[in-house]
Structure 1
Amino acid sequence: MITVNDITQALRDTFPDREVCFDLTDVPQNITLPRGWEKFGLSLETVPAYPDDWNSFAHEFPTTIALLKNCLLGTALLIDDEVEMVYVFHDGNSFYYYVGGTPTEVDALNAMKSKHLPGRLQDFYREVHNGYTYFPTRSMGPQRLNEQSLVSDLVDDEDDSFAKNWITLFSNGGGDYVAVEADNNDNTEGLIWWHEEPATPELGIDIFEIMDAWMAIFLEDTKPRKELILKLT
């Protein structure tokens, strides 16, 4: 039988070095939450709360949002030097988590290399999360801004100039990346950089379509809440 208490205990065991908040009343008074983060929590029978701004990206991340609506067991806040939101899922055998960072302020966004990213992607970092990735590998989702890198830094070849303007957005955890070319005015066009074929990336891809598809493949064993309730309670 699975209960909310099972989820809370699993979160505390997984994040022992961080304060885990399950309700707004748990949040220390000195913490100011981002807009839209006031509602969060755990639920097995109703759609748990998560930031409404996800819905602005229904076109870009349709499968990811469907997963939140159908499979999410809840959200909680992780607090230490920073605040992050953890999303709880279950595959029928165990819990697993995605972690999203606080949205990035406009001034900070403009001051970082992210100002060279496509505008719609900047919207995601500013409105939803600064990174939304699988824990603990920090992969299989849009990377945090400070974890993005130039593809040229990943190339072992002596001549890496062909990749000097490519910025990573998404790691598959196996050495491959979804990336964009800096200052590309197209809001969706990017490339897949395959580490085994560094000089011949797959060009002209839709970055949101590929990121959403890769997350869907990674999360294909995620169980719907209704199935978990029937099977596990």
Structure 2
Amino acid sequence: MITLNDIIQVIENTFADCKICFDHNDVPADLCLPKSWERFGLNLESSPVYPQSWNSFSNEFPSVISLFNGSLLGTVLMLGASVKLVYVFHDANGLYYYVGGMPVEAYTADNVNFNGLPARLQEFYRDVHDGYTFFPARSMGPQSLGDQSRVSDLVDEDDDSFAKQWITVFSNGAGDYVAVDAAKRGDTEGLIWWHEHPMVPELDVDVFEVMNAWMAIFLEDTKPRDEIIAKLH
């Protein structure tokens, strides 16, 4: 049996080095949040609250949206070195979290990696999150701009020039990456770089399709919200 107070306590213990806001009343008055973040919380008596900007990506991330609607327990705000939104779920091992960064702003105009992303992926970073990944591994979701790298940095070859235009956008946590080619602009022109076969990437993949599929597999043991709420009562 788990209660709402138990959930709050576990979250506070997990993020002990940060201030956690469980509702808007906890937010410092001088902190300006994105409009889509103004509603958040762990109210288990109503539908889970998450940024509605996700809904414009229902075609790209159908499994993620389905997970929100069926299993998300709520969202809380984490104030640390940066401001992040924490998504709270429960699986067989207990609570687990995904963390999303603040949507990116004008500073990205000078970000080489951001400028190399396909337009639709840029929209995700501007409208939804600068990264949305499993905590604390920072994997199994779109990487933050700060975590992105060039595949050439990962290749242990004397000549890595072939991979210098490949920007990682998703890590599976096991050394493999979904990447995009900065020389191209299509969401269906991505690649999968396998660390065990560094010279033979899987080309011409739809980056959203792969990310959504990998996340669905990774999160398939998440418990339905109704099951958790029933136990709370």
* TM-score bracket for this pair, using the shorter chain length: over 0.9
**Percent identity, aligned pairs only?**
61
* Counterpart-to-counterpart distance in 1, 2:33 and 2:231: 36
* Counterpart-to-counterpart distance in 1, 2:163 and 2:145: 19
1:45, CA displacement in angstroms? 3.7
1:232, CA displacement in angstroms? 5.7
In structure 1, the residue matched to 2:181 is 181
1:228, CA displacement in angstroms? 1.9
In structure 2, the residue matched to 1:109 is 108
Confirm whether residue 155 of structure 1 aligns to residue 166 of structure 2: no
8 A Cα contact 2:2 2:231, kept in partner? no
Aligned length: 232
The Cα offsets for residues 158-209 of structure 1, whole Å up to 9 and x where unpaired, read as 1111111100000000000000000312133200000010011000111000
1:82, CA displacement in angstroms? 1.5
8 A Cα contact 1:84 1:99, kept in partner? yes
* Counterpart-to-counterpart distance in 1, 2:171 and 2:18: 25
1:81, CA displacement in angstroms? 2.9
**Using a 3 Å threshold, how does the CA distance of structure 1 residues 47 and 189 change in structure 2: closer, same or farther?**
farther
Confirm whether residue 118 of structure 1 aligns to residue 124 of structure 2: no
Confirm whether residue 165 of structure 1 aligns to residue 129 of structure 2: no
In structure 1, the residue matched to 2:15 is 15
* Counterpart-to-counterpart distance in 2, 1:15 and 1:47: 24
8 A Cα contact 1:117 1:183, kept in partner? no
* Superposed counterparts of 1:1-233, under 5 Å: 1-105=1-105, 107-113=106-112, 114-231=114-231, 233=233
The Cα offsets for residues 195-226 of structure 1, whole Å up to 9 and x where unpaired, read as 01001100011100000000011101001111
8 A Cα contact 1:162 1:199, kept in partner? no
1:157, CA displacement in angstroms? 1.3
* Counterpart-to-counterpart distance in 2, 1:175 and 1:92: 25
8 A Cα contact 2:188 2:204, kept in partner? no
| RMSD of equivalent CA atoms | 1.2
The unaligned stretches of length 5 or more in structure 1 are none
1:11, CA displacement in angstroms? 0.8
The unaligned stretches of length 5 or more in structure 2 are none
SS of residue in 1 equivalent to 2:220: coil
SS of residue in 1 equivalent to 2:143: coil
With normalisation by structure 2, the TM-score equals: 0.96
Query: Greater CA deviation, 180-189 or 20-29?
Result: 180-189
1:231, CA displacement in angstroms? 4.7
* Counterpart-to-counterpart distance in 2, 1:212 and 1:57: 11
* Counterpart-to-counterpart distance in 1, 2:26 and 2:34: 16
1:2, CA displacement in angstroms? 1.9
With normalisation by structure 1, the TM-score equals: 0.96
The Cα offsets for residues 73-124 of structure 1, whole Å up to 9 and x where unpaired, read as 010000023110000000143000000000001x222210201100000000
